[in-house]
Structure 1
Amino acid sequence: MWHMIRIQSGILKGMSLPFVPDPKTRPTTQKVREALLNSLGDAVSMGSFADLFAGSGAVGIEAASRGAREVLLVEKDRKVALPLEQFLKTDRRIQKAGIRLIREDVLSFLEKYEGDPFDIVFLDPPYEYPDWEKLLRCLASSGIVQKKGSIIVLEYFHRDDPSGVVREIFPDHQTKVTSYGESRILFARNVNP
């Protein structure tokens, strides 16, 4: 049975995305999506946005709705990705928004990534994700993160706390953490001139 997730802002405001609920997948709440994108401000509307562990695709699609010039969604779970994939093919407004979906494991995707870097990379793995260090090292060596001006955003369960690993692997990034119930959002901005 599908659930619907509504886009709350921008040119696609009011659009409903199909989503198959799954115990392993926890969509970013509307409140957190809004706070996250508001915090990024103009960086969203002027930049490219990669939503890794995309799930419903709501965060990336909301970024597209707010004017991101390119949005990449990466999701490996076929059951979760299939309704999103069909939706992206059939909705005309979405087709104009420059959104791509890749159905692949994030680590495999990062290991072979050869495209241009993204301005913003958002990672929201399942709660209690066991491989933060491996994921962040893979991210750092992949080329998907820009050397200057990049923003990495992590959403995680409060007990996971990968902030120390982020500071170790991305020493040129200034970090800030905000709390929303059991969720934490970590922003890491490259402050190198």
Structure 2
Amino acid sequence: MRVISGEYGGRRLKSLSGDNTRPTTDKVKESIFNMIGPYFDGGIVLDLFAGSGGLAIEAISRGCEHAYCVDKSYAAIKVIQENIAITKEPEKFTLVKKEANSALSQFKASDIQFDYVFLDPPYAKQTIEKQVEWMKEANLLKEQAYVICEVDKAVQLPDELASLTLKRRQTYGGTEIVIYLND
């Protein structure tokens, strides 16, 4: 696993060992960023189920200004910290060790709004529809924000979600990427 492009392009990232996580493959990550960017002029990122932090680091590498990486696992937080250290710009990242819904409540209380939200929850425990609806109601999404969901291809996310518009749906093996726009 590596950073595909941008300022940190080519740097190797660590991933969690074991079967508890499925890091986004380099091929899928590159495709995601080609669909939403591929490069950015600022923007705030939320990686709600960060795992290794690879999506957030890729977004910062391509020009986003700050990323919030959320994960409830101590092991994941440790790997994310190590991967952020590889960037040599830790000030561009905020780590939040919390369960996803608790973190969303914390962000609402802080009046933070996001330009890019990555949702790649454990497939068996995904509640993406409820979380996106809650983010929209809580005003956590900036106008023109992208919400990028990575789900098992058997999961059928709707074409319209919380008044966000479906921009793209793409399948890669057993994974489906669904991209919404808050327009």
Structure 2 stretches of 5 or more lacking a match?
none
Tell me the amino acid that sits aligned with residue 9 of structure 2. Answer: K
Are the counterparts in 2 of residues 107 and 138 from structure 1 also a CA contact under 8 Å?
no
In structure 2, give the amino acid aligned to 1:185.
I
Which of 154, 165, 177 is matched with 1:173 structurally?
165
3-state SS of the aligned residue for 2:40? helix
* Cα pair distance change 1:44/1:74, threshold 3 Å: farther
CA change 1:106–1:87 in 2 (3 A) is same
Counterpart for residue 188 of structure 1? 180
RMSD: 2.0
Structure 2 contact 16–75 (Cα < 8 Å) conserved: yes
What corresponds to 2:105 in structure 1? Answer: 111
Aligned match of 1:69 in 62, 65, 68? 65
CA distance in 2, matches of 1:110, 1:54: 14
Deviation at 1:44, TM superposition (A): 3.3
Q: What's the TM-score, normalizing by structure 2?
A: 0.88
**1:91 offset after TM fit, Å?**
4.1
| Amino acid of the structure 2 residue aligned with 1:94 | E
AA in 1 matched with 2:173: G
> How many equivalent residue pairs?
181
TM-score of the two chains, using structure 1 as the length reference: 0.84
Please, which of 89, 95, 100 is the counterpart of residue 94 of structure 2? 100
Which stretch shows the higher mean deviation, 149-158 or 107-116?
A: 107-116
Q: Does 1:11 align with 2:11?
A: no
Equivalent residue for 1:161? 156
Cα pair 1:73 1:102 within 8 Å, conserved: yes
Q: Percent of aligned positions with the same letter in both sequences?
A: 28
Deviation at 1:155, TM superposition (A): 0.7
Q: Distance in 1 between matches of 2:8 and 2:126?
A: 35
Between the aligned partners of 1:18 and 1:43, the Cα distance in structure 2 is: 23
> Which of the numbers 73, 76, 81 marks the counterpart of 2:77?
81
The AA in structure 2 aligned to 1:76 is: K
Structure 1, unaligned runs of 5 or more: none
